[in-house]
Structure 1
Amino acid sequence: MRYSISQVATISGVSARTLRHYDEIGLLAPQEVSANGYRWYGRSQLRVLQRILLLRDLDVPLPQIKAILAGEDDEAAALRRHLRLVTAERDRLDAIAGTIRRTLDDLEGRRSLPDGEFFRGLQERRAQLAATLRKKFGTALPAHDPWPSGWTRDDYHEAESEARDLYSQLSRARRADLDPTSSAALDIVAAHYEAVRATWPASPEAYHALADLIESDPAQRVVVGGDDPDLPAWLAAGVRAYAVRRLGHRP
């Protein structure tokens, strides 16, 4: 038996638009396409779609799912990597939840909270990221702590608000299918570069190296990805292109 794209959308809960996107990126091709352009799916395509949806429920990115389906990536190994990412996100949220609980204790009069305690979870994240940067990229990065010391509560709030706005802008560009290496995209990536330089005097080499961290480090994928899990790969490509084309880096 074969199914039209609308029938597959109905029985799977996946929109026809998403199914067409899966076809366009080579993730799930229909069994056949008729002369009038209609897509038709068979039972084998339904099994593949089921596997895709199971992996998506685990928040595995589409490029990784494609590699798994193509046999280029071992599914167990891919899920182990994804488990590390999810675990890192859990730890990040646990740290933030602890900070929120301590803040509530302060607001509701149960315990007076020193100013430094407001930022304990954030400071732990900074320390972990600094260690990851130096371990992974070594001499490509400055020796000093690349984050400002002595920030106040308002400084942190302002920086996080600006970061959210920036990642939203980058996500809109990605969702609009803007090539991350295009001139228009690099104009947007320039804002990311300036934001990095505001707290870390990144050399062209270091900024280029940062792309690998954005793409591969679980904690950074969570920070950058937010509601757009495909943004880290897009931004990493833009960062590399910006370092080469706008900063003169030679890989």
Structure 2
Amino acid sequence: MRYSISKVAKMSGVSARTLRHYDEIGLLAPAEVSANGYRWYSRTQLRRLQRILLLRDLDVPLSQIKAILTGEDDEIAALRRHSQLVTAERDRLDAIAVTIGRTLDDLEGGRSLPDEEFFRGLQEGRAQLAATLRENFGEAATRVLPTADAWPAHWTRDDYDEAASRARNLYNRLSRARRAHLEPTSPSALDLVSEHYDAVCATWPASPAAYHALADLIESDPSQRAVVGVDDPDLPSWLAAAIRAYAVRRLRYSP
């Protein structure tokens, strides 16, 4: 059975524009392109799209997913890897849930949570996920995933709170710029984005290519859209465009 691009978009929750982009970069080619240019997809492409979206949910940039999936011909082995990654993600979320529970106890006057344990669940979950990615997809996957080691080991709870406050302040200023109809590629917008780039590099030494790829994550990953767009749902797409422009114009990245 074959599916039109609009049908695949509806089934997967991915826009037709994104599917065309995946085709253009050689990540997901349709099974057939008719004479009138319509793209058609088969079950094989749907399974590949499923794995692409899983890796996107695990914060792996598009620039690396193609390399990770290259040569993956065994559908059973691929499905087993998929199962292992889903299990790892479940375990990561379980670890985060434990951390949240400890934090609630601390806030409600129960057992005091030492600062050094405050983010342990987050760090352990990320480390576990990185190990699973390495086992199933090799070093190419883990190199693009910020691990627990990317966070400064000496940070305390106050440091994290301060960083979160600075991030929210920056997102508010970016939102005001967007609402004022400032073009995301304008010099003034890029000056604001330079603060975002510096903040990212403070915890994750992102290369120009990785920072450019971060735009895809902010624009398409639900959890990242929720963080960036908590007060302004239109901000993620605006910021993604600004990040791409910053990477090309200020960091000299060549897509």
TM category, shorter: 0.5 to 0.7
Any gaps of 5 or more consecutive residues in structure 1? 1-70
Task: Give the whole-Å Cα distance in 1 for the aligned partners of 2:230 and 2:114.
Answer: 30
Residues 129-208 of structure 1 correspond to what in structure 2 (within 5 A)? Answer: 138=141, 141=144, 145-208=149-212
1:77 aligns with 2:81: no
In structure 2, how many angstroms separate the alpha carbons of the residues matched to 1:168 and 1:143?
25
Which deviates the most, 162-171 or 94-103?
94-103
Q: 1:225 Cα shift?
A: 1.4
- Cross-structure match for 2:218: 214
Stretches of structure 2 that go unaligned for 5 or more consecutive residues are: 1-5, 16-49, 59-89
Identity, in percent, stands at 68
Give the drift of 1:206: 1.6
C-alpha deviation, 1:215, in angstroms: 1.4
Normalising by structure 2, what TM-score? 0.54
CA contact (8 A) 1:181 1:237 kept: yes
Worse overlay, 150-159 or 124-133: 124-133
For the pair 1:105 / 2:105, whether they are aligned, the reply is: yes
For residue 108 of structure 1, report the CA deviation from its aligned partner: 4.8
Q: Is the 8 A contact 1:133 1:213 kept in 2?
A: no
Give me the whole-angstrom Cα distance separating, in 2, the residues matched to 1:150 and 1:156: 11
Give the superposition deviation at 1:100.
5.2
1:100-155 residue CA offsets vs partner (Å, 9 max, x unmatched): 543342355532323344224543675589789998x8487488743222321111
TM-score, structure 1 length as denominator? 0.55
Is 2:232 the counterpart of 1:228? yes
Task: Output the aligned Cα RMSD.
Answer: 4.1
Cα gap change, 1:103 to 1:200, in 2 (>3 Å): closer
Larger Rg: 1 or 2?
A: 1
SS at match of 2:152: coil
Query: Which position in structure 1 is the counterpart of 2:69?
Result: none
Q: Give the whole-Å Cα distance in 2 for the aligned partners of 1:142 and 1:79.
A: 22
**CA–CA separation in structure 1 for the residues paired with 2:224 and 2:252:** 25
In structure 2, distance between residues paired with 1:187 and 1:119:
31
Q: Does 1:247 align with 2:247?
A: no
Q: Which residue of 2 aligns with 1:49?
A: none
Of the three residues 224, 237, 241, the one matched with 2:241 is 237
Number of aligned pairs? 176
Tell which deviates more after alignment, 197-206 or 107-116: 107-116
